[in-house]
Structure 1
Amino acid sequence: MALFSFDLTQRPPRSPRVRLGGFVCLPRLLDKGRAHLAGKAGEYRYNCPLDQRWFSFTGLSADALLGELAKGKSDSEMLAWILETTPRRREPSEILGWSAYMETRAPGDAESHQVFAESLAKLAPAREDIASWFDLLDLDDHVSFGGRA
């Protein structure tokens, strides 16, 4: 099977809200990994802090996942591999709980609040509805590819 190429210089990865197997972030992570392998990641970084939260939750390594992506596996094949391989087996209720938490996660400490506020000020200073990291990522993806804030 040929390596799936996803060009993140032309469009953003899937929203972190999109789920695969109940996991938020996973489709976005797969998009970034495929783009990284193809040399088409643009400004997106595979194994960024958000990705690292997913790896920590599952116990998988970024290198192992990237190795499987390099084999040209589809999303469903990747999910099957993840569920078979993860050292931290999670019940569906744990995955759903973690995903719900991640979806609403907001800045916690003072430094995170500052980073969040500075990013929002650059993207859309008049927006008052951006409260979570996922909100900010979706907004950044939209604006980065020509959308209005």
Structure 2
Amino acid sequence: MNLTQRPPRSPRVRLGGYVLLPRLLDKCRAEIAGTAGEYHYNCPMDRRFMDFAGIDHEALKAEVAKGIGDGEVLAWILKNRQHQHSDWEIAQWSAYRESAAPADNENREFVSQQIANGGGADREDLSTWFDYLDFDDHVTFGGKA
């Protein structure tokens, strides 16, 4: 996984029903390989998943470092998570995360400025954190706003 050449998966992509998980696994693998570029494993967005599932980020990183695939990592998470959520709870959490927008003026201003810097000042369709992350990944790797 080389995040200097392409972005991680969208935060919308799900694994085991969890949004964010495939993206944070991409960033974790890249950090282990030394190819994370400007991406950061265990960022505040990643911690949303860690807190919800009840997983320690260092323990997860150690498991990922074994070179196992997404399915095996998911099996490890399901076995080791502190919070045993049902499928519907995971679906509700994922839907909530997918629709979450910056909740305070400082974060709204930051996201708006980043979108403007990426050439998207006229975009009215970018309102959630996931919208911003997908937009940022797109323009970072040469896409047009």
Query: Which bracket does the TM-score occupy, shorter chain normalised?
Result: over 0.9
Aligned partner of 1:34 among 8, 29, 32: 29
The percentage of aligned residue pairs carrying the same residue is 56
The residue number in structure 1 matching 2:143 is 147
Q: Distance in 2 between matches of 1:142 and 1:119?
A: 13
Aligned-partner Cα distance in 2 for 1:119–1:92: 35
CA apart distance, 1:126: 1.3
For residue 70 of structure 2, what is the aligned residue in structure 1?
Answer: 75
2:82 is aligned with 1:98: no
Which of 10, 32, 37 aligns to 1:15? It is 10
Q: TM-score, normalised by structure 2?
A: 0.97
Q: Give the corresponding residue for 1:88.
A: 83
Gaps of 5+ in 2: none
Q: State the number of aligned residues.
A: 144
| Paired residue type of 1:16 | P
2:127 corresponds in structure 1 to 131
The separation in 1 between residues aligned to 2:91 and 2:84, in whole angstroms, is 13
Moved over 3 A (4+): none
Following superposition, the deviation at residue 121 of structure 1 comes to 1.4
**Alpha-carbon separation, structure 1, partners of 2:49 and 2:16:** 13
Q: Which amino acid aligns with 1:95?
A: I
Match of 1:110 among 105, 108, 120: 105
Give me the CA root mean square deviation. Answer: 0.6
Measure how far apart 1:113 and its partner are: 1.3
Is 1:24 aligned to 2:19, yes or no? yes
